[in-house]
Chains A and B, each alone.
Chain A
């Protein structure tokens, strides 16, 4: 049976749930329930939390759940999935998302997708998950089928899926998630199954192989339940009794982990995946307490099983770094001794240069985690804190509930599995910027050092020697543009999210102005760090609307907003525009730019907009191009 072993077990679940629901205010109950959702829950406990959530949702139906964005998810399935829906909602709550779930009636998804009058269309899903079984395809392939026939049947299934994905995307404007096919087949030939094109196990393997190719081509997200079921064992995921009784393919005991896998993907799509792995040192990155046993005494490296276990964690951390995860150290130690381990211990795989933020002192760890987030200019909710000491973990969970703290097992041999299974770093893309991110954050730390060495801000900015390369968003920048717009929460004027296809349509429309900005300075290339999208007003061709403006937090405070607006104003003027309009839609995360438009010289427009939205305008005839320390580079 599979459990979410990285989450701490509740001491007394019933008591935790009861006290969570005792608060007077619905908002407080919701906050408390989100904390309960952080515990390791079984099938029934998950349903209990979901029932409590439903009761609270009734009280907060007016949308008063501040800090808990709502997401509408439709699950289109060809097996019974009703028992999985509570787990999806609870896993959403674990990530502070209120997921409204719509489930198509059993096997009716094709018809619903084709019928604009269907309940599916009425629901207006933002995300559509296809949760399908392989039985139809497997049954359609004769055991005696030739390789060509078997491949043809698989290709026909995949082609049908492509059509369904397009309908979901184009007609409903939803992000599409396709689930891989569980292999619930029984062996016929033994290991030789894989050599027989029509053998059920081989058909499922081929389906999943072709599915991976198709989703990449179509820009669909993949929910790899097949991989998880291989990892956990198929018996943890599939129970033939449940299939016979209710046509349940994903068994009730797998519901909590299934829900978590779905919510991970939805959260990753919203830019909520973790960004930084914070590591303790003693008994985590190496065995033993270095202050007691000295550099020679720590357990690390080849030759001892325990030493290799710690080394495996270092290797895993280094791989995460290679995919763009920032590494930090937070340890109670003498800084000089810890530094020496990194520089001098021959078995240390992680080098001091791999660690972007290095907080080694005797200060409280919660304080140090705050310092790390501040140094890297990322949210505390972007941190994963790995520490073998249960007391430190409990302390951090209590004072910084937004920091993810895996419940490490006793044996360091299983540390990597614990961190990996938790899915903190779920990705929905892997771009050139990801590959360079760690260097970029390291350069940022150097920039900060430069800042503190200068007397004035102007001297600092001049000393950075910044240049800006910009141009319209083209197909080449589409992946990064989609990622930046959908992940950015702080500098994001409207927090509108777009699918690749929607952005593709926006950049193709000649009446729109799209701009991408790449900032280079003496410490390196920051990559594409800001996107501006302006749409021409349909009625008034002299008016452009700033529909989306995002900027990476890595380049805050560098005058890039001024220079980017200069470029936008020039581009709009070149199209004969008179004025720009912009909405600022306040969220829990973008308060950092609440004065952006007024600082840029826009004036507030009156208007019956929702309370969280303010409307701004600027006349281009009087807009003064703002002086900055950023030079214009060649147009990209």
Chain B
């Protein structure tokens, strides 16, 4: 998947989870930029992505994600394996 494809999939998933159609994620987006994206819904978001793509993020990696771009990069790494 390309960065754009992954970003589109992430945006769609977060819109579905938070019932907010206005969400558009970019590489620089931080969790605090998105209303209601609290730490708990961040974990369910990670779980939803893992289920959809069939990948598993390392617990330490999830803790280190500062931007959506970090998640995209880690996703590409895991998909490349």
Contact = CB atoms under 8 A, between A and B. Distances in A.
A233 to B, nearest CB: 16
Contacts of B56: 241
Most buried by B among A44, A47, A51: A44
Contact of A43 (B40, B43, B47, B59): B47
B48 A245 contact: no
Contacts of B51: 1, 42-44, 252-253
Contacts of A242: 43, 47
A333 B71 CA distance: 59
B30 to A, nearest CB: 18
Contacts of A252: 44, 47-48, 51
A330 interface: no
A57 to B, nearest CB: 13
Contacts of B44: 43, 83, 252
A54 B18 CA distance: 12
Interface in A14-59: 42-45, 47-48, 51, 54
A51 B40 contact: no
B16 interface: yes
Interface string B48-60: 1001100011010
B40 A44 contact: no
A468 B81 CA distance: 76
Interface of A: 1, 42-45, 47-48, 51, 54, 80, 82-83, 239, 241-242, 244-246, 248, 251-253
Contacts of A244: 59
Contact of A44 (B39, B46, B48, B62): B48
Interface in B9-27: 13, 16-17, 19
A239 B78 CA distance: 19
A368 to B, nearest CB: 41
A101 to B, nearest CB: 16
B16 A47 contact: yes
Contacts of B48: 43-44, 252
A83 B57 CA distance: 19
Contacts of A80: 40
A239 B13 CA distance: 20
Contacts of A43: 44, 47-48, 51
B59 A44 contact: no
Contact of B47 (A45, A51, A54, A253): A253
A251 B47 contact: yes
Most buried by B among A48, A244, A246, A253: A246
A246 B43 contact: yes
Interface of B: 13, 16-17, 19, 39-40, 43-44, 46-48, 51-52, 56-57, 59, 62
Contacts of B52: 44
Most buried by A among B16, B39, B47, B52: B47
B17 A44 contact: yes
A257 to B, nearest CB: 14
A47 B47 contact: no
Nearest to A52: B19
Given A43-B51, A44-B51, A241-B57, 6 more contacts: A1-B51, A44-B52, A48-B19, A245-B46, A245-B59, A251-B47
19 contacts: A1-B51, A42-B51, A44-B17, A44-B52, A45-B16, A47-B16, A51-B19, A54-B19, A80-B40, A83-B44, A241-B56, A241-B57, A242-B43, A242-B47, A246-B39, A252-B47, A252-B48, A252-B51, A253-B51
B19 A44 contact: no
Contacts of B40: 80, 82-83, 246
A127 to B, nearest CB: 25
A47 B17 contact: yes
A85 to B, nearest CB: 12
Most buried by A among B44, B59, B62: B44
A239 B47 CA distance: 10
Contacts of A54: 19
A48 B48 CA distance: 13
B75 to A, nearest CB: 16
A228 to B, nearest CB: 19
A252 B48 CA distance: 8
Given A43-B48, A253-B51, A245 B43 contact: yes
Nearest to A240: B59
A248 B40 CA distance: 10
A241 B59 contact: yes
A239 B44 CA distance: 12
B47 to A, nearest CB: 4
Contacts of B17: 44, 47
Nearest to A253: B51
Contacts of B39: 246
A245 B44 CA distance: 10
Q: State the 3 A-B residue pairs at the shortest beta-carbon distance, nearest first.
A: A51-B19, A252-B47, A246-B43
A243 to B, nearest CB: 10
A577 B39 CA distance: 64
B43 to A, nearest CB: 5
A45 to B, nearest CB: 8
Contacts of A48: 16, 19
B8 to A, nearest CB: 14
A245 B57 CA distance: 12
B44 to A, nearest CB: 5
Given A241-B56, A241-B59, A244-B59, A44 B13 contact: yes
Nearest to B15: A48
B41 to A, nearest CB: 9
A246 B47 CA distance: 11
